[in-house]
């Protein structure tokens, strides 16, 4: 899979989960992928939310891995 194809799959995964984040006043930005680790930035009410790491792992990471199984993890860049 090319880098462009991988980025496209990650963006598609984020589009799937974004409505849930927006419903709670938050959002997410895809910053890039390096060594099969996706870097994202949480926005809005997601910043400082007590459950944002759970959302990141159980929601965002799980959804991205569904589209791109080779991804090892998703990390938040502040």
Each residue's pLDDT tens digit, 20-47: 999 989 999 999 999 999 999 999 988 8
Q: Specify the CATH number for the domain of residue 60.
A: 3.30.300.130
The boundaries of the domain holding residue 67 are 3-76
Quick check: 57 pLDDT over 90?
no
Q: Which helix (H) or strand (E) holds 13?
A: helix 3-23
pLDDT at 16: 95
**CB under 8 Å, gap of 24 or more: what pairs does 47-54 form?**
49/24, 52/76
Quick check: 48 pLDDT over 90?
no
> What is the total count of domains within the chain?
1
CA distance 47 to 51: 10
**pTM of the predicted structure, to 2 decimals:** 0.90
Quick check: 51 pLDDT over 90?
no
């Amino acid at each position: 899979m090319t880098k462009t194809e991988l980025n496209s799959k990650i963006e598609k995964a984020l589009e799937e989960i974004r409505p849930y984040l927006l419903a709670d006043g938050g959002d997410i930005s895809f910053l890039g992928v390096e060594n099969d680790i996706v870097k994202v930035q949480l926005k809005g009410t997601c910043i400082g939310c007590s459950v944002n790491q759970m959302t990141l792992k159980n929601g965002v990471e799980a959804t991205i891995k569904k589209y791109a199984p080779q991804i090892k993890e998703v990390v938040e860049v502040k």
